[in-house]
Amino acid sequence: MTPDPNPLLADAGPIPFDRIRAEHVEPGIRQALAEARAVVDAIAAGDASPRWETTLGPLDEAAERLARRIAPASHLVAVAQTPELREAYNAVLPDISAFWSGLHLDERLWSRIEAYSTTEEAQSLTGIRRRHLDKTLREFRRAGADLPEAQKERLRALHVEMASLEQKFSENVLDATAAYELLVTDEDRLKGVPEPAKKRAAAKAREAGKEGWLLTLDYPSVEPILKHCEDRALRREIHAAYCLRCRDGEWDNRPLIARLLRLRDELATLLGYATFADYQLEDRMARDGTRARAFEADLVARTRPYWARDTRALEAHAATLGLDALQPWDVAFVAEKLRKAHFDLDDELLRPWFALDRVERGLFDIVERVFGFRVVEIDDDPVWHPDVRTFALYEGETRLGVFYTDWFPRKEKRPGAWMDAFATGGPDGDGFTPHVGAICGNFTPPQDGTPALLTHDEVQTLFHEFGHLLHHCTSRVAVPARAGIHVAWDFVELPSQIMENWTWERDALDLFARHHETGEPLPEDIFQRMLDARRFLGGWYQMRQLSFGTLDLLLHADVAPRLRREAATDGDDLDLRQGQEVVDLVREVLVEFSPTAAFADLHVLTSFSHLFAGGYAAGYYSYLWSEVLDADAFTRFRDAGVLDGETGRAYVRAILSQGDSEDPEVLFRAFMGRDPDAGALLERNLGSLEADAA
């Protein structure tokens, strides 16, 4: 009997998530890699007259096909991980990394592409093909294509080891998060915690065969404790457990941090860059580490007075609550009490107006009115969990994309919220190949017949991730490598962050902010209190973001080179000792961003997946960089009307559909008619000290 085909190798139809098992991962990905290598070999052995159709064309097709076959397995490791799936994926991960890093180090392939670049055909290229050729040449050089073979071999080894370390870092965070449980048996300890959160904790306890309330470290469990629990000792215990994940024990990430920093610095040095930050940022809007650090320093200086104002307000309100001194585990609690006192507003007051299904429908309505895209649910595509839903995105009769939503936490699912790209489509002859992606989160789930009710922060997160998805699924760039989200890292957050603005606009909120029981719209007085509270503690929260960005650049521009210099003379416990040194150094740096040293002690470096497993190394500054862009760009929507279709379609034409077809600065100017202005961000987030004083 013929065995069933490997579902990872299914190139037609919907992705068969329901049939992918751990045993498919190694053979499927190894076959996909072998087929991609065969294409590379054929290109490298091509005739003496290279053309687009014999070089870049088939190379792009092979790279996209390989990425499309690997993506489902990588995604399942993030959302439905089992020990068997993890083991299978880790077994083949070095081969995946070796292929991608080795692609740019293949001397035969590089020779063919260089040879093509000098042909008459290549010289006459225009538009996206010209840009793709130019950027491909630069990518090969940035990857070390011109280096001697011994250095190329070292680069290959670096990429493989870094990929394995980053995967291990992520697994440690997942395991440490999943392993923690705290059973509360005295309900008085949960005084102040909203009833829905208590019900979820009780349900978790019952599922575990225990009596009481089971607290875990997934964020829907952590947040209500830190924000609402009056038991200060319990807040402290949960806060410390969350912040100190992976700082010692079985899932200790300190050695991984030290080694990753050294390896990244070695890679940058091999490629001729002063620091890893300079290497990472060369092809981004910031261009180099110096400019990114100047951006951070300028915003730190401009934010500090507002941060000082907010710190004084928190400390003063903590005193009125009988707290002897503001501690890290008090901030969310005090902030909620202060917001309630100032604006008579808290998350639980708003939740009833943000039922997940209605929020999604409202978002889709906004997308249709503003951008001209229609969303239709699909009922029969296979999924990886019953919570997952599938949709198609249309422009007219053209199906631009298919996407999945997966919003609730599970033990086998990593924390946070993100978008995954499974396939990059685009114009295809006279037709259009749909893009495929997913958006995932860890929102408050439904409970006891009550629908999933979101906080306003969760609503913003949903809109944010959908912005990434739109960027991916609406791309009309014919070259996949230059399509969708394949843009400069400090530009990629613009399409996501701009979407959050609609969650603050009355005309948009009226489409989805309705009470889940009565259907009444969000009352005007509550809406006005939301607006009044929008800048609440804006200086505090913006300084927190700046602390992460500053720290990230310091680690990759200053600390990593020092660790590598010192490594030559150190012994066997080098990684652990240097990892602890980094943890201690981070504390020293964060003191400048903290009211007291206690805040700097409880930092999250050892679980900071953005920097050590999520692609944001030397790039965390880009969140605020992109915020400058999104706040400024949204002023055009606000001036025209936030549901204005003409403005929305202009944005689609200028930015959303353009991928990396032009430099980001050019795309921004095409929409705004000028360069970005940081004033809109500062006004939106911080307001005026003079107005506050008045």
Residues taking part in catalysis: 465
Please report the beta strands in 289-348, taking only residues with DSSP state E, as ranges in sequence order.
Answer: none
What is 149-190 written as a DSSP string?
HHHHHHHHHHHHHHHHHHHHHHHHHHHHHHH--EEE--GGGG
Candidates 461, 459, 460, 485; CA nearest to 471 is: 485
Contact 602/244 with Cβ under 8 angstroms?
yes
Q: Is 376 exposed, middle or buried (0-12, 13-18, 19+ CB in 10 A)?
A: exposed
Candidates 63, 66, 555, 482; CA nearest to 283 is: 482
- Dist. CA 142–CA 101, nearest whole Å: 11
Contact 384/17 with Cβ under 8 angstroms?
yes
- Dist. CA 192–CA 198, nearest whole Å: 10
- Dist. CA 170–CA 173, nearest whole Å: 5
Burial pattern 156-183, b for ≥16 Cβ within 10 A else e, equals: bebbbebbebbbbbbbbbbbbbbebebe
Report the side by side order of strands in the sheet with 418-423.
374-378, 389-395, 398-406, 435-440, 418-423
List CB contacts of 144: < 8 A, sequence separation 6 or more: 104, 105, 151, 152, 155, 270, 271
- Dist. CA 553–CA 280, nearest whole Å: 11
Q: Is 279 exposed, middle or buried (0-12, 13-18, 19+ CB in 10 A)?
A: buried
